[in-house]
Structure 1
Amino acid sequence: MGTTTEGGIGERVAEERKLAGWTQSRLAIEANVSVSLVRKVEQGRSPASPAFVSACAKALKVSPSELLGQPFPRTTRDESEVASGIALIRSELAAYDIPPAGLTPRPIEAVAEAVSRMRTLRRASSLRQMSMDLPALMIEVRALVHQEQGGNQQRAYRLLCELYLCARGLAHKLGYVDLMTVTIERLAWAAAGTGSRLWATSAQYFRALVLTSTGDWNTALAYLERCRAELESELGSDDTEHLVSWGGLHLQSGLAAARAGDRGAADAHLSEARETAARLGDTEYCEPVFYFGPTNVDIWSVGLAVEMLEGTEAIERAQHLTIPASTPRSRAGHLYIDLGRAFLLHGDRAKTLDSLNKARQIAPIQTRYHPMVHETVRVLARTEARSTETLRGFAAWCGVNQL
């Protein structure tokens, strides 16, 4: 039996709304959503989308993580192991610019190999091993940054950026939103020492994601437009780093537009990203910052449709999508999480659970801790006339109360 999380998003929204002394109509006005949607989410008859969560959180003056119930409680040894490195990572992020006392790091080549292995773990969503190995490696790379000079110091900063990206991914998937925000700040600091356009863009990309996740969509869109303006003069060169940066920022703009309910803008950014991916060719760019290319843009196209609550459109987009074996498990798993949401919106409950099980097969820990998986399972159970043994088993595995 996994962790059980008390209540769901709808119950938390209702509780915060009542604490604020608001009616459902008042919350709908303040969050710019429909009264019927507030009612359905609170009753567990409709899934709460990320846009709904962030809009309600902003209106109620609470963090989205509070409405999502993150981080989820740990009640088993396995769950404790997955989160075992969080406290040490938190401490390391506080010590980011201080040379480690009494530590002599390995040669930079040996450390680079260890970072490469960590990158592989991140793309495979091997959260348990990441959590166990990441803190000590972060300390060692911090020592390198303070020890090396010139080109080797730039390389050490790049290695540190990779580890901050790993820490961000771990914090994100386990629901430690405050820690995730700190990792992005540290990523921006380290990126300045890399001499790399791509690492500077990665910090911008994830900063915009924070703004989007908190419901500040217009600010995110304005910030991303400013970031792209810095790149525009370099686009004619077909330089890979600039193209990947350009395409990645357009995908992030598409997400902000989708959550703001602007279908036209979301599709325009998606189209720009698709054209940029075509300029790179058929090969997905994977090293070391972004996974970007035609396949990833197609995965994003499904997710953006789901963000706009267009389940049927998402399913149609997925029908033309082939996932190569080389696709990182984290991305492939996310596709099937989104498809589960799409099938629920479409009204095909059997395929909803099939998609979630596929996500579980590909990236189990990512799926287990994903708040939209929890939300999808809750609504699926509430709308079924009789919950099946398979559904109850999945709910128990991912930590949702038996319904």
Structure 2
Amino acid sequence: MPVGPRWGVGERVAAARGLARMTQKELADASGVSYSMVRAIERGARMPGEDVLDALADALGVDPGRLLGHRGPTDSRVHDEIPELSRVLAAYDLPEDGPVRPLEELRGAVSKVTDWRVGAQYLRIARTVPGLLDELARAFDRANGADRPEIARLLVSGYRTADAVAYKFGYRDLSARLVELMRWAAPTAEDPLLDAAVAYVRTETYFAAQAHEPGLRALETALDTAPRTSGAAEVAARGTLHLRAAIVAGRAGREDTAMMHIGEARRCADAVPEAVYYGTAFGPSSVRVHEVSLAVSLGDRHLQRALDIAHEWAPPRDLPAERRSGFYIEVGRAQLWAGLADDAFESLKVARRIAPQHARDHKWVREDIATLRRLKRADREDLSNYAGWCRAV
């Protein structure tokens, strides 16, 4: 019997369909795949090709990699899309002729890929965003009058979504280019909150270079110019900058500065509901997640704070998947450093279940699973399977 990566996909399709509360007939209608094919796939009699798998994943609202069990060609398919993204960016100010959808449809398209970004659905982004950016560039090139600022905002959001893939999959030069394009388009939007969002994303370049002190200065400059009004979006904009500044300060070993920023972020979060503001999740739960991250960054006596939070609290299911997965990765590292190896492995498994593509390519996941294999028996099957999945061996 074949034992390739697609065997078992039927069970995963059925499980995802159950979570979506869809019947087989409803899944067939939503995906355009025949009812008989859906039935055959779920009972393991047929193996779906890539087009069928993609159609089922779209209908179920999951990434195709989830249906493949995260052992299939998801990563290679993301990498295959990078040249097209690079081509589109090279011609950002000289887009090819082509159609442009009405503004309302462009809004919907950008909103959809933004949801994919916060949900860590990188393959779907990689397949979709190059064409969307090409179309947005045409729209921006042709726009005049009142529509131009909004199209600039959509373009910045599109660049940010593309950057999530570039940064996650190690294309750091491409990521830096996308950040610069965000900074190029943002002034046309005439929106200071968008400027704050771009400043937040720009910090990735400082993280990548381990240039924490310049990154902290850039964030504090952005805080100085951020709107000071009391609207939810304005408060959230300041709060997200404080969160990022706390982590950067922690990485720089600036404990007092880090604690000041996390305190300011907490005060902002107490004034707004948890939500995604200008593409970034912010609110009380997001601050709690960052408290764990900061405790791990500071280490030593702060680690107990991370363990205490993990003991008494878990991120709610409505928090974006990437953020929830990141919480368990950070908790796993704290547990590992505290000598709780079994607990650390459980946390890494939870991170994988929540956002597999996020966990699989996370540097700390690979480092920590390798450490766990050294601490435990290296031939322990569950640890070895996990290490193989995230390419730590």
Tell me the TM-score range normalised by the shorter chain.
0.7 to 0.9
- Report the counterpart of residue 267 of structure 2 in structure 1: 275
Residue 358 of structure 2: aligned partner: 366
Residue type at the aligned position of 2:354: I
Aligned partner of residue 280 in structure 2, secondary structure: coil
Mapped to 2, the partners of 1:167 and 1:186 lie a distance apart of 11
Alpha-carbon distance in 2 for matches of 1:120, 1:248 = 18
Amino acid at match of 2:276: C
CA root-mean-square deviation:
1.9
Counterpart secondary structure, 1:121: helix
* Counterpart Cα distance in 2 of 1:173 and 1:146: 29
Alignment of structure 1 residues 221-370 onto 2, 5 Å: 221-231=216-226, 234-235=227-228, 237-280=229-272, 283-309=273-299, 310-370=302-362
The answer to whether structure 1 residue 93 and structure 2 residue 89 are counterparts is: yes
TM-score, normalised to structure 2, is 0.78
Name the amino acid aligned to 2:114. R
What secondary structure sits across from 1:324 in the alignment?
A: coil
Which residue of structure 1 lines up, in the alignment, with residue 76 of structure 2? 80
Report the equivalent of 2:114.
Answer: 119
Q: What's the offset of the Cα at 1:211?
A: 1.9
Counterpart of 1:390 in structure 2 is: 382
Instruction: Determine the C-alpha separation between the residues in 1 that align with 2:146 and 2:279.
Output: 19
Q: Secondary structure at the match of 1:326?
A: coil
Instruction: Please state how far the C-alpha of 1:363 moved relative to its aligned partner.
Output: 0.2
Q: Distance in 2 between matches of 1:129 and 1:209?
A: 22
| Percent sequence identity over aligned pairs | 29
Distance in 1, Cα, partners of 2:222 & 2:382:
47
Residue by residue over 1:67-94, the C-alpha shift from the partner in whole angstroms, topping out at 9 and shown as x without a partner, is xxxxxxxx96332112232111122222
Matched, 1:208 2:200: no
Is this contact kept in 2: 1:172–1:180, CA < 8 A?
Answer: yes
Q: CA deviation at 1:317?
A: 2.4
SS at match of 2:282: coil
Superposed CA offset, 1:243-276 (max 9, x none): 1221111112111110111222211110000001
SS in 1 for 2:275: coil
Counterpart-to-counterpart distance in 2, 1:114 and 1:293: 25
TM-score, structure 1 normalization:
0.76
Give, in whole Å, the separation in 2 of the partners of 1:76 and 1:289: 29
Q: CA deviation at 1:289?
A: 2.1
Q: 2:151: which partner in 1?
A: 156
Other structure's SS at 2:204 match: helix
Which of 161, 166, 174 aligns to 1:166? It is 161
Shift in CA distance, 133/341, structure 1 to aligned 2, threshold 3 Å: same
Partner Cα separation in structure 1 for residue 359 and residue 280 of structure 2: 21
Q: Residue 145 of structure 1 aligns with which residue?
A: 140
Cα offsets for 1:54-76 (capped at 9, x unmatched): xxxxxxxxxxxxxxxxxxxxx96
What is the CA–CA distance in structure 1 between the aligned matches of 2:384 and 2:166, rounded to whole Å? 28
Whether the aligned pair in 1 keeps the contact of 2:378 and 2:384 (CA below 8 Å) is: no
CA distance 1:385–1:391, shift in 2 (3 Å): closer
Provide the C-alpha distance between the structure 2 equivalents of 1:287 and 1:263, rounded to a whole number of angstroms.
28
1:221·1:256 contact (CA, 8 Å) conserved in 2? yes
**1: CA distance, partners of 2:73 / 2:246:** 39
CA contact (8 A) 1:278 1:293 kept: yes
- Please state how far the C-alpha of 1:377 moved relative to its aligned partner: 0.9
State the SS of the aligned residue for 1:286.
strand
Alignment length (residue pairs): 323
Question: Contact 1:197/1:242 (CA < 8 Å) preserved in 2?
Answer: no
Q: What residue is the counterpart of 1:65 in the other structure?
A: none
1:312: how far off?
A: 2.6
- Corresponding residue SS for 2:98: coil
> For the residues of structure 2 that align with 1:322 and 1:343, how far apart are their CA atoms?
15
**In 1: Cα distance, 2:113 partner to 2:206 partner:** 27
Distance in 2 (CA, whole Å) between partners of 1:367 and 1:212 is: 18
Secondary structure of the equivalent of 1:332? helix
Q: Provide the rounded CA distance (Å) in 1 between the counterparts of 2:377 and 2:73.
A: 35
**Given the superposition, is the C-alpha separation of residues 174 and 386 from structure 1 closer, same or farther in structure 2, using an over 3 Å criterion?**
closer
Consecutive unaligned residues in structure 1, runs of 5 or more: 3-74
By how many angstroms is 1:166 displaced? 0.6
Q: Would the aligned equivalents of 2:85 and 2:130 in 1 still touch at CA under 8 Å?
A: yes
Structure 2 residue aligned with 1:218:
213
Q: C-alpha distance in 2, partners of 1:81/1:385?
A: 34
Distance 1:107 1:273 in 2: 38
Residue identity matched to 1:200: D
Q: Quick one: distance in 1 between partners of 2:392 and 2:183?
A: 36
Shift of 1:385: 4.5
Residue of structure 2 in register with 1:12 after alignment? none
- Quote the offset at 1:215 in angstroms: 2.3
State how far apart, in whole Å, the 2-side matches of 1:219 and 1:79 are: 32
SS at 2:315 equivalent:
coil
